[in-house]
Amino acid sequence: MKLQLQLICSILLFSCQRDSSKIRPTVEDISESVYASGVVKSKNQYEAFSTVNGTIKEVLVREGDSVNRGTRLLKISNKTSALNAKNAQLAAEYAKFLANKERLDELRMAVDVAHSKKQIDSLLWRRQQNLWSQNVGTKVELEQRELTYKSSVNSHHSAIMRYKELQRQLELNVNQSQNTFQINNAIAEEYTLKSEIRGKIYKILKAEGEMATNTSPIAIIGDAKTFVLELQVDETDIVRIKPRQKVFISMDSYRNQNFEAIVSHIAPSMNERSKSFTVEAYFIKPPPILYPFMTVEANIIIHKKTKALTIPRAYLVDDSFVITEGNQKRRIRIGLKDYQKVEILSGLQDNEFIYLEKSEH
């Protein structure tokens, strides 16, 4: 009797254990997604680099400051550039017409004198011609007057040419010196780093006295209010990603909260080192407080189906089978999969029981 009671209890216990593992498929919504990790970035965020090398003389902003486009961020010391700019300014001033007025006046006077002499010599030549017509004077005197007049004409023409040449030279000097002055001013301006956008200073990476080079960033600047998500998607999944797909976001800074976003941009080139593509997304409703470089985990929804026949993924065997009554292994065809469940397309009805696969010991 005692042995029979133990046998009955064992059968009942086994039956309970068996029953607890059996389930029927359920009809519910299911979605398939691609996993991605990434960070939060401010819109238009960029690293500010100096285009010249030098010692940082003065930092003009602090982290957290709001800036406009063109706001000066810091000054880089360079005495040579400042001296060159000053020399260029002096050269530009010297090259101006006002500084060369005396030279122009002198040649202008030479032109006037030559013109007057030409007129006098012309008059004397005509008089000599009149005398010669009256048989007064000699032919030699007539020829001398003609030569003197022609010489005056040439002298007047040469004086005009010298005057015009000086004008052209002075104009060229002025233009060249002004260009040199502007170039040196532009170079001097490069020693003052300015913001390229209206936004916020998120990080200053250099301090006064440190070296600024064109190979290391000096500051991180971005939009003060608008943030984007920069996600890394593996190359095996990138062909499944499209703009406007919905993204579910989780963040360490907001535990037990999920946020929704939308894919906005897919980078056209792959990062060869990480074998991943950069995908940008924007929050539908962002968290109340965000900072650049907050880490995120994302699930990009690829497909979604309502009223799908599903089973838990734990009941799926070898991706193609389920265990039915009598410990029978049945082939099925599956569709969408998420982290918890899988869609059944064929091979199983909603009124059939399935069981967990027995573990072998």
Q: What is the predicted pLDDT for the residue at 125?
A: 85
For 246, the 3-state DSSP assignment is strand
Residue 222 has pLDDT above 90, yes or no: yes
Higher pLDDT, 79 or 214: 214
Positive/negative CA dihedral, 272, 274, 278, 279: positive
Distance CA 133, CA 153 (A): 24
Tokens of 16: 């309970």
Rg of the chain on CA atoms, in Å: 46
pTM of the model: 0.56
Distance CA 301, CA 6 (A): 53
Q: What is the predicted pLDDT for the residue at 96?
A: 60
For 285-319, how does the pLDDT look when each residue is reduced to its tens digit (9 = 90+)?
A: 999 999 999 999 999 998 888 888 888 888 888 88
∠ CA 104-108-112, rounded to 5° = 170
For 234-259, how does the pLDDT look when each residue is reduced to its tens digit (9 = 90+)?
A: 999 999 999 999 999 999 999 889 99
Residue 339 has pLDDT above 80, yes or no: no
Cβ partners under 8 Å of residue 276, min gap 6: 232, 233, 234, 235, 270
For 112-156, how does the pLDDT look when each residue is reduced to its tens digit (9 = 90+)?
A: 988 988 899 889 888 888 888 888 888 888 889 889 989 989 999
Q: Which of 250, 273, 253 is nearest to 261 (CA)?
A: 250
Residue 15 has pLDDT above 70, yes or no: no
- Percent of the chain at pLDDT > 90 equals 36
Q: What is the rounded average pLDDT of the residues 275-279?
A: 95
Distance CA 249, CA 230 (A): 12
Binning pLDDT at 50, 70 and 90, where does residue 67 land?
A: very high
The DSSP string of 308-349 is: EEEEEGGG-BTTTEEEEGGGEEEE-EEEEE-SSEEEEEES--
